[in-house]
Amino acid sequence: MAVSRCRTFTLLGLEALTVTVEVDIAPADKPTLVIVGLPDSAVKESKDRVLTALKNVGYPLGSQHCTVNLAPGHLRKEGACYDLPIALGIVLAMEKINSGIQLDNYFIAGELSLSGELRPIAGALSLAMLAQKHKAQGLLIPLENAPEASVTTKLNIYPFTNLKEAIAFLINPKNYQPYLLKNSSQQHQNHIPPVDLQTVRGQYAAKRALEITAAGGHNLIFSGPPGSGKSLLAKALISLLPPLTLQEALESTKIHSIARMLPTDTNLLYHRPFRAPHHTISYAGLVGGGNIPRPGEISLAHNGILFLDELPEFSRSVLEVLRQPLEDRLVTISRARQQVTYPCSILCIAAMNPCPCGYTGHPTKACKDTDIQKQRYLQKISGPLWDRFDLFLTVPPVSYQEMHQAPTGETSATVRQRVIQARERQYARYGEGKTNAMLTRSQLDSHCKLDTESHAILKQAMEEMHLSARAADRILRVGLTIADLANSPLCPEHLMEALSYRKATT
Ligand SMILES: Nc1ncnc2c1ncn2[C@@H]1O[C@H](COP(=O)(O)OP(=O)(O)O)[C@@H](O)[C@H]1O
Ligand SMILES: [Mg+2]
């Protein structure tokens, strides 16, 4: 055989697509290797790695010309995951071994070092799901990727630490058992336990706002002086959310895998992500992008929380790009040849000081900022961005007495029960996974029936507080969530509470 064929993958967003690796070998004056089929520069570099690794494990190319075709030609191939399929394809095409398997029944991916060691790839779960869909006989991947790929229970996974082992598998596959995840408790070792609501002393209004946020999927801003517990409260929010569904866990795992952020030994993310990027983060770091497109923080937070601490300190241009993804729950990254889309269904929670020094409204400390400084600080957040946040709450400093009292108030588990029930009411009305925060204007019309008194309250608020129509819609969405938490139709008292979470100027 001077031609061999096997299968590997390329990523389009979260989805893996099949790429066939064809290798043809013909006699020549010296060893040469050509890769065709829209490879990017990282794939082109594969040439040198593969030839050197093959030589170092005892399979030099010799005086032969080798052509590698990555098909279909129109799909862009990125990264270093083609090293292993190309190397195994060459070994077969050279006819140096008697293969015990039909190579094109397998999916293969892995990066090689010059000495032939295998390095993990990004996107192994997406690849494993593709291989399972095609009923592949097996998946040959680097050992580090095996826990993650083993989420697909109907697929035989053969992990290797180096090229030599993979070649030995081709020669005598019967010597190998498919991979079994040894210790499923491994998946929890990287998890930081969330802050329980009871850890936060006092701050009952803020805790209530967290409950509403969790129940209705609303975005929330906390404003308050340094040390008042804003960051602590944000961390407690994760403990109020319902557990991930399997579907959600699979999607979140795929994203982390593609971003190379999945901890080793983790097969599935069982906990909602909590991402807190620093305010110096770049555009690409936040929404995604880069030479080889990678999901950004907003997608790493998919199905979980994005915490933007010190909101006005973020660059204004970075904040502006958040608006569309927050609304669409998807982020699209445009590139020269293709667009990729990553999901980003998140709860966004932001914290800010009321002014640059942080002490506006503080009971004992005086604010040192001028009005112009304050104005400039708040103007970093545009009107349309404020519109993406349904709740705004001022968090006062906690007193010494409060800080040193025994934990009081409800535990996260108690509140989470109410959140889950409130969410179930919303899913029953709008469909699985849809919450009040996602309602459009016309959906609000059909789901939000106001009685005369509620109409009067909203009318008065719009007139006296100069609320925009958008701000009024936000109040209705929050009001619906408060009603769902009370297991009741929307009443005037729910609207009154919702009104208390508006920012003074919108
Ligand atoms: N209400 C509170 N209950 C318990 N600890 C608090 C509270 N507020 C602040 N702290 C403690 O004070 C420190 C600073 O709180 P932090 O959440 O970082 O404040 P902020 O983000 O508002 O500046 C944290 O270590 C936190 O443990
Ligand atoms: Mg903080």
Domain of 406: which CATH number? 3.40.50.300
The stretches of 151-290 forming alpha helices (DSSP H) are 163-171, 204-216, 230-237, 246-258, 283-287
The answer, yes or no, to whether residue 327 has pLDDT greater than 80, is yes
pLDDT of residue 266: 79
Find where tokens 């919108």 sit: 506
pLDDT of residue 223: 94
The answer to whether the CB of 80 is under 6 A from ligand 1 is: no
Mean pLDDT score of the chain: 91
pLDDT of residue 505: 56
pLDDT of residue 152: 87
The answer, yes or no, to whether residue 229 has pLDDT greater than 70, is yes
Domain assignment present for residue 190? The answer is no
- Do 405 and 321 share a domain, yes or no? yes
pLDDT of residue 370: 87
- Do 247 and 161 share a domain, yes or no? no
The answer, yes or no, to whether residue 384 has pLDDT greater than 80, is yes
4/292: higher pLDDT: 4
pLDDT of residue 406: 83
Other C-beta atoms within 10 Å of 178: how many?
13
- Do 415 and 477 share a domain, yes or no? no
- C-alpha 227 – ligand 1 centre gap (Å): 5
- Do 141 and 283 share a domain, yes or no? no
Supply the range of the domain harboring residue 495: 439-506
Tell me how many domains the chain contains.
Answer: 3
What number of helices (H) and strands (E) belong to the chain? 20, 18
The answer, yes or no, to whether residue 1 has pLDDT greater than 70, is no
Domain assignment present for residue 187? The answer is no
- Do 444 and 339 share a domain, yes or no? no
The answer, yes or no, to whether residue 187 has pLDDT greater than 80, is no
The answer, yes or no, to whether residue 506 has pLDDT greater than 50, is no
- Measured by CA distance, the residue closest to atom 13 of ligand 1 is 227
Mean pLDDT computed over 144-156: 91
pLDDT of residue 466: 83
- Do 249 and 317 share a domain, yes or no? yes
- Which residue in 207, 241, 213 sits closest to 410, CA to CA? 207
pLDDT of residue 188: 45
The answer to whether the CB of 231 is under 6 A from ligand 1 is: yes
Q: Band of the pLDDT at 183, cuts 50, 70, 90? A: low
Domain assignment present for residue 304? The answer is yes
Full-model pTM: 0.87
Percent of the chain beyond pLDDT 70? 96
pLDDT of residue 357: 87
The answer, yes or no, to whether residue 369 has pLDDT greater than 90, is no
Domain assignment present for residue 261? The answer is yes
- Do 15 and 54 share a domain, yes or no? yes
Ligand 1 atom closest to the Cα of residue 201 is 3
Nearest-5° angle of CA 133, CA 134, CA 139? 95
pLDDT of residue 34: 94
Helix/strand/coil for 422: helix
- Do 205 and 338 share a domain, yes or no? yes
Mean pLDDT computed over 9-24: 95
Ligand 1 atom closest to the Cα of residue 225 is 22
The answer, yes or no, to whether residue 189 has pLDDT greater than 50, is no
Helix/strand/coil for 215: helix
Domain assignment present for residue 347? The answer is yes
Helices 83-93 and 163-171 pack at an angle, to 10 degrees, of: 40
Pocket test for ligand 1, best of 196, 230, 232, 394 (most atoms within 8 A of CB): 232
Domain assignment present for residue 482? The answer is yes
pLDDT of residue 208: 97
The answer, yes or no, to whether residue 485 has pLDDT greater than 70, is yes
Distance CA(22)–CA(73), nearest Å, equals: 12
Q: Band of the pLDDT at 468, cuts 50, 70, 90? A: confident
pLDDT of residue 457: 92
- Do 414 and 298 share a domain, yes or no? yes
- Do 281 and 240 share a domain, yes or no? yes
pLDDT of residue 184: 53
- Do 119 and 264 share a domain, yes or no? no
| H or E segment and range at residue 242 | none
- Do 125 and 254 share a domain, yes or no? no
The answer to whether the CB of 207 is under 6 A from ligand 1 is: no
Domain assignment present for residue 345? The answer is yes
Q: How many residues belong to the chain?
A: 506
The answer to whether the CB of 79 is under 6 A from ligand 1 is: no
Interval 19-30: pLDDT, tens: 999 999 999 998
pLDDT of residue 289: 86
pLDDT of residue 504: 64
Instruction: Give the domain-ending residue among 126, 151, 182.
Output: 182
pLDDT of residue 72: 95
- The answer to whether 347 and 388 have CB atoms below 8 angstroms apart is no
CATH number of residue 171's parent domain: 3.30.230.10
Domain assignment present for residue 192? The answer is no
Instruction: Give the domain-ending residue among 379, 396, 431.
Output: 431
Mean pLDDT computed over 383-396: 91
Structure tokens at 182: 């040894």
- C-alpha 122 – ligand 1 centre gap (Å): 37
Structure tokens at 173: 């596959």
- C-alpha 201 – ligand 1 centre gap (Å): 9
- Measured by CA distance, the residue closest to atom 17 of ligand 1 is 229
Interval 328-364: pLDDT, tens: 999 998 876 678 899 999 999 999 998 888 888 788 8
What is the distance, to the nearest Å, from the Cα of residue 336 to the centroid of all Cα atoms in its chain?
Answer: 24
Instruction: Give the domain-ending residue among 368, 402, 431.
Output: 431
